[in-house]
Amino acid sequence: MAEFTGERVIPGKVDIDLWNEHLSRYLFAARLCRFKRVIDLGCGTGYGSAELARQAELVTGVDISQEAIAEARERYTLPNLSFEVSSLENLPFPDASFQLGVCFEVIEHLENYRALLSEARRVLSPNGQLIISTPNLDFYAESRKHEGPNPFHVHEFRYHEFQEILSEFFAHQTFFVQNHSSGIVFLPVTAAAGAELRLEPETPRPEQAHFFLAVCAAKPMLGAPSFVYMPSAANVLREREHHIARLESELNTKNNWLNEARSEHKTLVDQFRHLQQELETRNQWALEQNARVAEAQSAVSRLEQELASQHDEANQVVTAYEDRLKTVEAEATEQSRWHQKNEEALEQQMQQLSSHIQKLDTEIQRADGQLSEYQKKLDETEAVVIERTEWALREQQAREAAEAKLSAVEASRWIRMGKAFGLGPKLS
């Protein structure tokens, strides 16, 4: 169920005067809606649309709030009553769909209120009428001077401005003012057969009205009867007494709050005096502490001077240390560079030595191969030498044997005889 926010009227959740103020507009419009197709622009929770449906042929309530339309559909289920969710600035109905439109306390909520009036004119038949109301800016501003402007209203109107805006869309308007008026009512205790109403002749002053209400049409209209709504339970004096009683109750409550506040104020005053005495004591203590602080500050000043002198000496020591440190760093950098250079040279020598060792290993392997080859050849040569030696020995033995034989031949007398005669072989 929707909650009353202070602006949209919810049946059963608003003050009776506020309820009657809104309901009376629909009762005013109900006189003009008999047997007509009616659109309720900004219908809210639908109580006014349901009131119009008592007289009209068909009523369509339109509101941009889905929550309000949902509650209207749940509360009011009449065969000639329906509700639609829609912006009033762009209505989902064909031209000339309705014969009467009502729009109560809506126009002041819209930034583009001309679009509302344009759409209302479009969906009304050529002979149709629009009944529209809005608060009087002057009266409303005065009545809300303590609360401030209504946060739900975008644009409020004065009488002549409201006239000019309506004239842009409807050539003819009949204006009414809506006010709460004091009256004296005589009601029979038994069932009444009728009622007689007497209104004192008076020309209304629109600038002093609470609300403006206009019946607008594209064509001229006839008649503008006054309308008085007197709720059956209306008793202004009784309501005022109840209201005064409520105010007195609130006043008593506020007086009790005031007495409690006064009691609390006395307690606070006593506490303040106690705190003031305590503050004076603390102020005296603070003055003594200030004197001590001054002495301490003087001592601190001396210490600061000594510290400044020591700081200068320390700066000199630090400067000398930094200079020495720079020298050491330079030497360390140079030594590091020298070590790096030596390491690079040593690395190069190691690489060369490694390369040389690899070459030596290769030559040794090659020499080992040659040595094996030489050993093989030596063995072969030695075998040949042995063989030739043995051959030479054999040849020597043969030669010696031949020489022995030769010696023996030479010693032979036959040989000697042949030599003498020049015969025989020639021995050498």
Kindly tell me the sign of the dihedral angle through the C-alpha atoms of 409, 414, 416, 420: negative
Q: In CATH, what number is assigned to the domain containing residue 77?
A: 3.40.50.150
The values of phi and psi at residue 79, to 5°, are -65, -25
CA distance 197 to 228: 9
266 part of a folded domain? no
pLDDT tens by residue, 211-236:
888 999 999 987 667 777 667 655 55
The values of phi and psi at residue 382, to 5°, are -65, -40
CA distance 300 to 318: 25
Distance of CA 105 to the CA centre of its chain: 37
Are the beta carbons of 108 and 142 closer than 8 angstroms?
no
Amino acid 8: pLDDT: 61
The length of the chain, given as a count of residues: 428
Give 49's contacts (C-beta < 8 A, 6+ positions apart): 40, 43, 59, 60, 61, 72, 76, 81, 83
Q: What is the domain range of residue 46?
A: 16-182+200-231
What are residue 104's DSSP bridge partners? 133
322 part of a folded domain? no
Give 72's contacts (C-beta < 8 A, 6+ positions apart): 43, 44, 45, 46, 49, 61, 63, 83
Closest CA to 105 of 27, 215, 7: 7
Q: Cα angle at 144 between 142 and 148, to 5 degrees?
A: 120
State the total domains in the chain: 1
CA distance 96 to 356: 115
Query: How many other C-beta atoms are found inside a 10 Å radius of the C-beta of residue 58?
Result: 19
Sheet containing 211-217, strands listed edge to edge, beginning at the edge strand earlier in sequence:
81-85, 58-63, 37-41, 98-104, 124-135, 211-217, 172-178
The DSSP string of 127-189 is EEEEEEEEEBHHHHHHHTTTT-S-TT-S--B-HHHHHHHHHTT-SEEEEEEE----------S
100 part of a folded domain? yes
* pLDDT < 50 positions in the chain: 1-6
Whole-prediction pTM = 0.54
85 part of a folded domain? yes
67 part of a folded domain? yes
Amino acid 26: pLDDT: 95
73 part of a folded domain? yes
Amino acid 5: pLDDT: 45
CA distance 299 to 306: 11
Kindly tell me the sign of the dihedral angle through the C-alpha atoms of 292, 297, 299, 303: positive
242 part of a folded domain? no
352 part of a folded domain? no
Amino acid 245: pLDDT: 66
Amino acid 254: pLDDT: 73
Query: How many other C-beta atoms are found inside a 10 Å radius of the C-beta of residue 52?
Result: 26
Amino acid 237: pLDDT: 53
